Structure 1
Amino acid sequence: MNCAQARDAARHVLAEHHAPEALVADVLTVVSELVSNAIRHGEGLTGFHTTVRGGQVVIEVSDRSTLQPHLRPPSPHTPGGFGWRVVKTLAPSTFIRFHRGGKTITATLPLRPR
């Protein structure tokens, strides 16, 4: 699965729940960042799942790496490094579960504004 396929899968789940467009944009951004980071930095994507449960959109992305994502200080001299900051801003309750095969990052966003 690549980023475009993951976004399409997430878009389909959100359409089934009539998610507001602003939420769709945020979810697709989080999906893009997590999937591209798994491919680029996580030794390959090993799992992807998006669902809606308990009034939350739940995005789960797994990769082969046991390295924890971290916030890099912003630098005008180093490209990139904003993905994890974007994820944590849009989905502050994001958490990481490490397992034998690497890690799974779970990001949640409320389905409806509070």
Structure 2
Amino acid sequence: MIVSKVTDSSAPAPTVVRGSSHASIHRAREATRAFTDQLSPSPDPALADTLVLVVSELVTNAVRHGGGRYTLELSAGPSALTVAVTDPNPAHPRERTPDLNGGTGGFGWHMVRDLTNDLTITPGPGPGKTIHGSLPR
């Protein structure tokens, strides 16, 4: 489910996406692209691509490791694009050595950490957690 509110362009309303399946990961990417497309001024295409990648990694991890469902919130300010992904699992992401040969992953959390600023993890709501990150505009 995608929820988007329209307000003045100086402070666009957050875009919220909820998902609970692997198919919803694609919808989260599409919603992120639509979010960046409606911003004024438009972010640099490389920044928009980076935001889509960060969202993809965070919602994929939420589906795979975070309890199978998530809420994604995207927002923008004059100096940053922000992403917050909430899932029902209180466990923080863990770093693991990327699997270069077996295809079992291990790249996502490293990428998210490298691509975002001010990456934080907060408890809740309920038993879960929210991962917040920002990308400078």
Question: Could you state the TM-score of these two structures normalised by the residue count of structure 1?
Answer: 0.88
Matched, 1:107 2:133: yes
**Aligned partners of 2:25 and 2:76: how far apart in 1?**
20
Question: Could you state the TM-score of these two structures normalised by the residue count of structure 2?
Answer: 0.74
Rg larger for: 2
**Aligned partners of 1:12 and 1:89: how far apart in 2?**
24
Of structures 1 and 2, the one with the larger relative CO (CA 8 A, separation 6+) is: 1
**Aligned partners of 2:79 and 2:123: how far apart in 1?**
25
- The count of corresponding residues between Structure 1 and Structure 2 is 111
Map Cα deviations across residues 18-71 of structure 1 (whole Å, 9 max, x no partner): 111100110010000000000000002231111102421111111010111121
Structure 1: give runs of 5+ residues left out of the alignment.
Answer: none
**Aligned partners of 1:44 and 1:74: how far apart in 2?**
22
Between Structure 1 and Structure 2, the one with more helix by share is 1
Contact 1:45 1:61 in 2 (8 A): no
Matched, 1:5 2:31: no
**SS state of the match for residue 44, structure 1?**
coil
Structure 1 segments, 4+ long, off by >2 Å, are 73-79
**Aligned partners of 2:96 and 2:36: how far apart in 1?**
31
Structure 2: give runs of 5+ residues left out of the alignment.
Answer: 1-18
Matched, 1:50 2:89: no
Aligned residues with identical type, % of pairs: 33
**Aligned partners of 2:77 and 2:69: how far apart in 1?**
23
